[in-house]
Amino acid sequence: MAMARTQKNKATAHHLGLLKARLAKLRRELITPKGGGGGGPGEGFDVAKTGDARIGFVGFPSVGKSTLLSNLAGVYSEVAAYEFTTLTTVPGVIRYKGAKIQLLDLPGIIEGAKDGKGRGRQVIAVARTCNLILIVLDVLKPLGHKKIIENELEGFGIRLNSKPPNIGFKKKDKGGINLTATSILAEYKIHNADVTLRSDATADDLIDVVEGNRVYIPCIYVLNKIDQISIEELDIIYKVPHCVPISAHHRWNFDDLALVWGLSVKHNPQKVGKDHTLEDEDVIQIVKK
């Protein structure tokens, strides 16, 4: 790949940005494919969105997604000790503190989904519609799978546990562009625009803003099969951010998995004033003085 062969220095930064822009344009059709015959969502992937929120279970085959969903929601998804058992999305519903939450057991993701391989493209298309993603990992081999899944989700315009770049962008009819990264905008045939960098930004941040089709979704990493590791190893896992270790089979530590984070605050819970702007699905507690 051209980016891998390019040495990283200031002289080649604009070249790398150009290559990233071209790659993003090519992947855009995977995120929003053109209409026409074939290539639709496919059987079993057209799941109606119901309730107050949708949570998608994403992971490699045989990590325990189906078992976890069955034990959480009481929904039967065919479970077996061989790979690719789940071939279609299986919806389940749970109620949590008055909220109706839809759970989707998505088919096992495979490497190369973002490049159109297998049914992974359809899986991630559904994942883009979720309010929260649970990446289910095998505790015995989590890091390799975690990196691959994150890479696949990133390739489909999904940004995990992050907020949109603080960049103002507006195309114009004239006036030119006052920005050093003009090669990226030129690749998009944009020659007149107002671009405001309100914080340190990368070429990837600018591409995300120009593409305009990125989704920013909170993510919890569920490390399954903790019944197969030691207490010492479990202590280390608990230090990993956004991570919840469980045993889906034995229903261990399900209480921790019920934690819900609001999207409009940095700390949960957090005291705010009456002028605080809430995000959809935030839960508030009003205290009388």
**Residue-by-residue pLDDT tens, the chain, 289 positions:** 555 555 555 567 767 888 888 888 887 776 665 554 444 444 445 567 778 888 998 888 888 888 898 888 875 555 555 454 555 666 788 887 778 888 888 876 666 666 666 666 777 778 888 999 999 999 988 888 899 889 888 888 999 999 999 888 877 777 776 665 677 888 888 888 888 888 888 889 999 999 999 999 999 999 999 999 999 999 998 888 899 999 999 999 988 877 544 444 455 556 666 666 776 656 666 665 5
Q: How many alpha carbons lie under 13 Å from residue 206 in its C-beta half-sphere?
A: 26
What are phi and psi for residue 76, nearest 5 degrees?
A: -90, 115
Q: How many alpha carbons lie under 13 Å from residue 55 in its C-beta half-sphere?
A: 28
Angle between the 142-155 and 120-127 helix axes, to the nearest 10 degrees?
80
Q: How many alpha carbons lie under 13 Å from residue 161 in its C-beta half-sphere?
A: 11
- Residue 265: its pLDDT value, please? 46
Query: Class of the 53-162+215-257 domain?
Result: alpha beta
Domain residue ranges in the chain = 53-162+215-257, 165-213
Q: Are 268 and 261 a contacting pair, CB within 8 Å?
A: yes
- Residue 207: its pLDDT value, please? 92
